[in-house]
Structure 1
Amino acid sequence: MRMCNRPDCGRGELDDSGFCTECDREPLPPGPAPAVGREAGPGRGAGRGASVGVAPVRPDPWYGLALAGDGHAPEAPAAPGGPAGPVAEEHRFCPNPGCGRPVGRGQGGAPGRVAGFCAHCGTRYDFAQPHGLTIAGRYAVERVLGSGAYGAAYLAHDRNLSTHVVVKALNRSVAATAEHERDVLVGLRHDSIVRILGYERQGPHLVLEYVPGDPLSARDGDRLETLLAHGIRVLQALDYLHARGLLHCDVKPLNIIRYREESPAGPLDRVRLIDFGAVRSREKDTGPVVAYTRAYAPPEGDPEHIRPTGGFDLYGLGMTLREVCRAHGADRAAPGVDSLMLLLDRATDTAVPGRRFVSARQFGEQLSGVIRQIVAAAPTGRQVTRPSALFGSMTEPLHGGLGAARPLAHWVRATADDRGRLSMPAPFAAPAPADVAVALPAPLSDPDDPVPRAAGDALAECRLALRRRDLAAAERALACADLPGWHWLASWYAGLIALARGDAPLATGHFTDVRRALPGELVPQLALGLCAELRGGHDDLEVARSHYGTVFATTPALGAAGFGLARVHLLTGRRADAVDAAERLAGEFRFEREARVAAVRLLVAPLAPAGPGEVAEDDLARAREAVAGLEVEEAAAAGLRAEIQYAEFLRAPDRLRLSEAVRALGAHAATEREYVALVDLANRLRPPLRWAPPWRGGGARHSRFGRTANTLSF
């Protein structure tokens, strides 16, 4: 038994044709294992990719299928029968395989004959009633499914197998095409590809399984993720074909049949790719593409027409999904819709063909990511934590101070006015741009679109230079990578350098280009949210809230999005939403402590930009209770208690209790100077002294101890 030796698989057996039963690819050749990936397409870096972060692995780009679930299966079709004619005039051709010329065409505005005799060879034709026609003595034709320049397709009853089949009758001029289609289909075994059942030289005729369904389209009540799941199934079929060096070359809705499949678990909503009349081999067919449907193919003059690759089929699927999802794409504010439109823009880009997807797996990874964003929103609410295929892990929460008690230095430098109100720095803020540039995760090598090793080394050096805060060296390294300007890696590193320089608007432009290229990834959206928060305008905060909300709703594991969402909620006056975000983030083990501290601080923080605002008594009580249950150092607990006490002071001034809370901070001062400053602040916060006469009428009071000083009153 031979096993697959690919690093990203390694668990499947090799079938009789030498392909893995798990990943549907050929094993790697003997010798040192190269980086996982496919050859770069035209205009892309040659050679295998150098890892920018960790080893390039994409184990399952189809995970969106499990997230989408099984949609509502279409109703079982009625038993086939009855003529579908008359056949449209443009599809009427002489049934004589040796002739095949147009017949039954109208002239002078008058309709053509539905039945008659060919004017060239005298063969009788009847496009209204195909009954009575039997092919090869066993296939009783029941109706015409369609016809064209290459021939006709019939629904027939196979008398031997007692089942319905599709019989494709092809003109003699394309007999070689029929044999090629036969040879291709015989070797294919995939759930989303139509199966061949037989071949009759008479005609010739191809006999295919009958898939009782309709061309792929959106039905009433279809959820968007259901339609996109069908796109993934087609991508799986295309990946299967492309791994065998085959191109379909005519991917369009009419060639994707949506049908009802019965299973032990109940009826399933499935699709199957049909019509392999235009199929071609990348090795044997070296000429330009001839047979294709213009509306679903790259424009003439595109590189794919001259030297077609799998990208030809991927373009067709992109156009197909654009048509099928048109109604859902009208509202780009709906969850995941903007990401979907960006995905389809990349899949069908005609201005810069190099931006398009180079493999079905690359397309599938981003499409699954879009589904992930869609199902994370209400009413589904399905959140999935999954490592990114293109970005490394991100451990820094970037809470901007929100996840820790207010620094003691804030209290040391605080000043108090006559009413006891304190002037201190903001309790927390957006992370510093340079810190964001270092904390954002490193890109990984794309196994389906590797960069040259020299470029990978240059990008790694750029990353190291950013960590050293050597921006000049980072720019030189990025220039040495010599990547095309449209490549997302170039935009990503340019964005990091702009952030490190503190230029959030410029970084926004670069990260926007990354998001357009990788709409299924969450890290670019997180970067855009951070940039919008750094810009700080009212509209910018709303943009930040949108990006943070999408990322956090999809996976709370990216804690920076949760902290960012909480900050902008508070900045825009949504205290309850800010606290809710922090409390949800506390469910993530890695961020539990910081998130619980953040929730306390948000409960009592002043609302900005409206001013301090008044904290509700219930929020104060919740904050006190939460602090009591926190497992933090005493210094942090004292700082949180001081914040709570100050919020209570703003609601109901009690200078003595605030003074005592500030004085308690002195025990945690690191230096004598800090201790003295805190004690002085506590003394300034104490209630002002009032001289009260000890008895009516004023004057000093005498006692047996002699004249006493006036008593102090607070």
Structure 2
Amino acid sequence: MPPAGAGAARRPDVADDPFPLPDFAFPDPESLVLPDPRVPEGVRRCANEACPDRTRLPPKDVGHCLSCGTPFSFRPSLAPGDVVEQRYEVCGPIAHGGLGWVYLARDSRLNDRYCVLKGLIDASHAALTAFEVWALTQMDHPNIVGIYNFVKHPDERTGKVREYIVMEYVPGLPLNVVATAAQQGNSRFDEPLLTEHVITCGLQVLAALGHLHERDMLYCDLKPDNVMIRPADRSDPDTRIKLIDLGGARQAGDTSRPIVITRRYQVSAEEISARGMTVASEIHTVGETLNQLYRATSDHTGQEVPAERHGREQQRIAVGIESFKLVCARARHPEPERRFAGAAEMARQLRGVRREIASLRDGVPRPEPSALFADNAVLLDAGLGAVPPLTRWTRRAADVPLGALPLDIGTPTPIAVATGLPMPRPRPDDPAADVPAPPATEDAPRLLAQLKATGLDTAEVAFARVRAGLAAGEPDAAAAGLARARELQGDRDWRLRWHEGLVELAAADTAAARSHFEEVRRALPGEIAPELALACCAELLGTPEPAEPYYLAVWRRDRSVVSAVFGLARVHLARGDRAGAVALLDETPDVSRHHDAARIAAVRVLSGTLPGDDHPTGPDLDDAAARLGALYLDGGEPAGESRTRLETVVHEARFGLLPAPEAAGRAGDDLRALLERAYRALARQTADRGHRSDLVDLANEHRPFTFR
């Protein structure tokens, strides 16, 4: 009978992968045949599972265990030229694994196509059960070695009949060989082995494991030695990963068969004793495999890369590498419940990390919609990207000239960040999944009332109450929602940590909020939202330098998250880098909803006074004026309130660059005339009589000198 969950599997299309594995040349298959096939003494074990000391074997190929007397033979049972079942002509042994010798053979019925025969190391091993025969032949997946047949052949030396699995021949290299070569400076490819290559291998491995898991099967013995990288050929134009050596595969929950594992990659003996082999233990082996492969990349070793370039590259991709290590750490967490729930969940985070590293490496955006966080239209900016309000003139400090007013770089408040960060998507199985919506501040009290009126008491309602309470300025409602969510969800849900961070931010306890967001990032290393939150927290804590790499990682990967580039611009402005801030703002795509805000911000940066009394230069103001002329303002009208205010800012900055009034000459008179007209235009924009009077006074103050 097939295992539960068997059915057609969706195959990943490697050709659609934007990060294909590099191709490489591979030698003639028969050159792999071992001239002197021997099992190393260090891996020899007695076949008797009950043997008191399975390592007590004499140093010879055939004999009896010195501990229990069980006979053994480590010699290959097939020789070159042998024909198995009048079909498979043996070329010779090419490798040995935990359960048997591996032979290269030709299939005479299929035009001498190469195949692989895998037999038992010792005839005393138990034969494959009927279920295993059925299960292994069902593993039709592009990332799992194909199993074609099961055959028997007599051993001429012993007279016993041995069983062999007939498998697909995979022309390629096991990943442990690739890793060893890369560590020595020869990746076997035309390019260095990169972290993106390791992740692509991991994603194909996870696709294969997911296929097994859907059929209630476990692979159990994942390690680099059991993963082949096969070069492209005429039958498949893509370099591909293949899981080989399915001898340790078993049905989930099976406790009857001996477990075949490699201790270095497996969970603790205590976990296996308590839980057996599980999907969680499988995920652990993926994490350890990726960790070991990463240690062979040029990103880690610096091999095949000039030392100077390696240092710059590592600094550039540091956040992405940190994200990759967090994926591995979660997969290998000592508590099984804290690991990824399955192959698909881990793959989702790995895909995000791969996009992040690649975009940090080459600067090319690689956006992908998140399955866990909703898109957010909120721009985390406190006014840099907006036309200055009239209060800039009506509430200014009287002792500071308008041309020297410090530029407000627009750092958002903690509550603005708390209500403006992306919102976790509702879980579709929650009865209230369609009820909550991201509340605008003016709608938040109404949403709170609506949530109460539904009568629903679910986690999604509780989380929505948190967000609506924060937006409505009702911290008690937010706290109550958080407490209820904790009761319903338990204490380990990442969404609970996220909302705890929002509540702490709203209360201006940014350090506590950062701690919660760090937990979310450890759980979801491939997501953008936690990195954006951590960048905002660093900035709010007065440490913009740690914020920069997170903002940059978000922006390089996804140019739709304009909050990140505004954060980057603020970091550059805080250290007086006017040109750098403008260059970043200019990267905002023309199709972005925040395109105009970024262009307005550039004008203000070019005409503003930065920290350290850093005034704009004449060329800065020329650039600002040119940009201002191209801005779409006031509904497209050539003159209007917004354009007048920005023009006034630019005129004031120019006026601030003039020498003493008596030496300004005609240029000063012209600027005074422009400012006089501008202030009178601003006076017409306010209905407040006192403010209008102040602005008229400013106009009179700047009227050009005259002797008439």
TM-score, normalised to structure 1, is 0.79
Q: Does 1:487 align with 2:493?
A: yes
Q: What is the match of residue 571 of structure 1?
A: 574
Percent of aligned positions with the same letter in both sequences? Answer: 32
| Alpha-carbon offset, residue 412 of structure 1 | 0.5
The one-letter code matched in structure 2 to 1:168 is: K
For 1:213-256, what per-residue CA distance to the aligned partner results, in whole angstroms no more than 9, with x for missing partners?
11124442123212211111111111111111111111111111
Q: Does 1:241 align with 2:212?
A: yes
Q: What is the match of residue 308 of structure 2?
A: none
SS in 2 for 1:584: coil
Q: Does 1:279 align with 2:283?
A: no
| Alpha-carbon offset, residue 312 of structure 1 | 2.0
SS in 1 for 2:106: strand
Q: What is the match of residue 136 of structure 1?
A: 85
Q: 1:192 touches 1:271 (CA, 8 Å); kept in 2? A: yes
Q: What is the match of residue 5 of structure 1?
A: none
1:189 to 132, 140, 143: 140
| Alpha-carbon offset, residue 578 of structure 1 | 0.8
**1:259-270 aligned within 5 A:** 259-263=230-234, 267-270=237-240
| Alpha-carbon offset, residue 425 of structure 1 | 6.8
Give, in whole Å, the separation in 1 of the partners of 2:416 and 2:45: 74
Q: What is the match of residue 257 of structure 1?
A: 228
For 1:534-583, what per-residue CA distance to the aligned partner results, in whole angstroms no more than 9, with x for missing partners?
112xxx21112211111111111011112211122111222112111211
Q: What is the match of residue 663 of structure 2?
A: none
| Alpha-carbon offset, residue 391 of structure 1 | 0.5
| Alpha-carbon offset, residue 617 of structure 1 | 2.0
CA RMSD in angstroms comes to: 3.7
2:417 to 403, 426, 436: 436
| Alpha-carbon offset, residue 338 of structure 1 | 1.1
| Alpha-carbon offset, residue 639 of structure 1 | 1.2
Q: What is the match of residue 359 of structure 2?
A: 376
| Alpha-carbon offset, residue 182 of structure 1 | 2.4
SS in 2 for 1:203: strand
Q: Does 1:472 align with 2:476?
A: yes
For 1:687-706, what per-residue CA distance to the aligned partner results, in whole angstroms no more than 9, with x for missing partners?
7x8xxxxxxxxxxxxxxxxx
Give, in whole Å, the separation in 2 of the partners of 1:632 and 1:501: 37
Q: What is the match of residue 73 of structure 1?
A: 23
The one-letter code matched in structure 1 to 2:682 is: L
Q: What is the match of residue 509 of structure 2?
A: 503
The one-letter code matched in structure 2 to 1:427 is: D
SS in 2 for 1:271: strand
For 1:132-175, what per-residue CA distance to the aligned partner results, in whole angstroms no more than 9, with x for missing partners?
54433433333333446643322233333312222121245543
Q: 1:141 touches 1:154 (CA, 8 Å); kept in 2? A: yes
| Alpha-carbon offset, residue 196 of structure 1 | 0.8
Q: 1:247 touches 1:281 (CA, 8 Å); kept in 2? A: yes
1:585 to 572, 585, 588: 588
The one-letter code matched in structure 1 to 2:411 is: A
Q: 2:118 touches 2:165 (CA, 8 Å); kept in 1? A: yes
Q: What is the match of residue 630 of structure 1?
A: 631
Q: What is the match of residue 454 of structure 2?
A: none
SS in 2 for 1:261: coil
Q: Does 1:522 align with 2:528?
A: yes
For 1:64-109, what per-residue CA distance to the aligned partner results, in whole angstroms no more than 9, with x for missing partners?
9856432321212223244253413438879999xx99999986xx
| Alpha-carbon offset, residue 479 of structure 1 | 2.0
| Alpha-carbon offset, residue 180 of structure 1 | 4.0
Q: What is the match of residue 12 of structure 1?
A: none
**1:167-206 aligned within 5 A:** 167-170=117-120, 171-177=122-128, 179-201=130-152, 202-206=161-165
Q: What is the match of residue 458 of structure 1?
A: 462
Q: 1:93 touches 1:151 (CA, 8 Å); kept in 2? A: no
Q: Does 1:558 align with 2:561?
A: yes
Q: Does 1:160 align with 2:109?
A: yes
Q: 1:95 touches 1:125 (CA, 8 Å); kept in 2? A: no
| Alpha-carbon offset, residue 376 of structure 1 | 1.3
Q: 1:212 touches 1:259 (CA, 8 Å); kept in 2? A: yes
Q: What is the match of residue 403 of structure 1?
A: 385
1:643 to 631, 640, 649: 649
**1:219-368 aligned within 5 A:** 219=182, 220=187, 221-263=192-234, 267-282=237-252, 285=254, 290-302=259-271, 306-328=275-297, 330=300, 333-335=315-317, 336-350=320-334, 352-368=335-351
Q: 1:415 touches 1:681 (CA, 8 Å); kept in 2? A: no
The one-letter code matched in structure 2 to 1:311 is: A
SS in 2 for 1:142: strand
Q: What is the match of residue 385 of structure 1?
A: 367
Q: What is the match of residue 615 of structure 2?
A: 614
| Alpha-carbon offset, residue 590 of structure 1 | 1.0
| Alpha-carbon offset, residue 308 of structure 1 | 3.9
Give, in whole Å, the separation in 2 of the partners of 1:404 and 1:415: 21
Are residues 512 and 450 of structure 1, via their aligned partners in 2, closer, same or farther at CA, if it must alter by over 3 Å?
farther
Structure ranking higher in helix proportion: 2
For 1:569-610, what per-residue CA distance to the aligned partner results, in whole angstroms no more than 9, with x for missing partners?
1112221121112111142331121111111111112222x2
Give, in whole Å, the separation in 2 of the partners of 1:416 and 1:294: 74
Q: 1:359 touches 1:448 (CA, 8 Å); kept in 2? A: no
Are residues 604 and 292 of structure 1, via their aligned partners in 2, closer, same or farther at CA, if it must alter by over 3 Å?
same
| Alpha-carbon offset, residue 411 of structure 1 | 0.8
Give, in whole Å, the separation in 2 of the partners of 1:434 and 1:190: 50
SS in 2 for 1:590: coil
Q: 1:404 touches 1:597 (CA, 8 Å); kept in 2? A: yes
Give, in whole Å, the separation in 2 of the partners of 1:552 and 1:121: 64
The one-letter code matched in structure 2 to 1:156 is: A
| Alpha-carbon offset, residue 389 of structure 1 | 0.7
1:413 to 392, 395, 406: 395
Q: Which runs of 5+ in 2 are unaligned?
A: 153-160, 301-310, 434-456, 635-639, 660-667
Q: 2:38 touches 2:74 (CA, 8 Å); kept in 1? A: no
User: Quick one: higher RCO (CA 8 Å, sep 6+), 1 or 2?
Assistant: 1
Q: Does 1:535 align with 2:548?
A: no
Give, in whole Å, the separation in 1 of the partners of 2:429 and 2:116: 37
Q: What is the match of residue 696 of structure 2?
A: 679
Are residues 194 and 373 of structure 1, via their aligned partners in 2, closer, same or farther at CA, if it must alter by over 3 Å?
same
Q: 2:38 touches 2:75 (CA, 8 Å); kept in 1? A: no
Q: 2:607 touches 2:653 (CA, 8 Å); kept in 1? A: yes
SS in 1 for 2:458: helix
The one-letter code matched in structure 1 to 2:342 is: S
| Alpha-carbon offset, residue 631 of structure 1 | 1.8
Q: 2:624 touches 2:650 (CA, 8 Å); kept in 1? A: yes
Q: 2:404 touches 2:609 (CA, 8 Å); kept in 1? A: no
Q: 1:488 touches 1:514 (CA, 8 Å); kept in 2? A: yes
| Alpha-carbon offset, residue 416 of structure 1 | 4.2
Q: 1:194 touches 1:272 (CA, 8 Å); kept in 2? A: yes
Give, in whole Å, the separation in 1 of the partners of 2:274 and 2:43: 29
Give, in whole Å, the separation in 2 of the partners of 1:534 and 1:575: 21
For 1:163-208, what per-residue CA distance to the aligned partner results, in whole angstroms no more than 9, with x for missing partners?
2222121245543446444221211211001111110144121111
Q: Which runs of 5+ in 1 are unaligned?
A: 1-14, 25-61, 690-710
Q: 2:379 touches 2:563 (CA, 8 Å); kept in 1? A: yes
1:661 to 662, 670, 678: 678
Q: Does 1:601 align with 2:610?
A: no
Q: 2:5 touches 2:214 (CA, 8 Å); kept in 1? A: no
Give, in whole Å, the separation in 2 of the partners of 1:198 and 1:64: 27
Are residues 451 and 370 of structure 1, via their aligned partners in 2, closer, same or farther at CA, if it must alter by over 3 Å?
farther
Give, in whole Å, the separation in 1 of the partners of 2:272 and 2:100: 30
